[in-house]
Amino acid sequence: MCLVFVCDEEETELGRQAAPGACPYCGGTVQAVDIESQWRLCFLPLCFKRKRKYFCTLCARRLVVYQ
């Protein structure tokens, strides 16, 4: 049995850009944020993941994209 203990997850913002569409809650503009997360096992980096998250600029809600 293999157990992995993640001591720390660090996220850094790579960039922001305008995304098409409007917020379904308030009608504000949508912004796409590229984020890189790094998982560490105490001092040793385990893996890097890049994600894109979407936020509304007016109500600051995190939006989920369904495909």
Judge whether 48 lies within some domain.
Answer: no
User: What is the reported pTM?
Assistant: 0.71
Judge whether 44 lies within some domain.
Answer: no
Nearest one of 59, 64, 52 to 18, comparing CA atoms: 52
Tell me which residue range forms the domain holding 6. Answer: 1-37
Judge whether 29 lies within some domain.
Answer: yes
Q: Bridge partners of 20?
A: none
Q: Bridge partners of 37?
A: 11, 49
Judge whether 54 lies within some domain.
Answer: no
Work out the pLDDT band at 41, boundaries 50, 70, 90.
confident
Domain count, the chain: 1
Judge whether 22 lies within some domain.
Answer: yes
- pLDDT tens digits for range 22-32: 999 999 999 99
Quick one: what percent of the chain has pLDDT higher than 70? 85
Strands (E) in the chain, as ranges, are 8-22, 29-41, 44-56, 62-63
Judge whether 6 lies within some domain.
Answer: yes
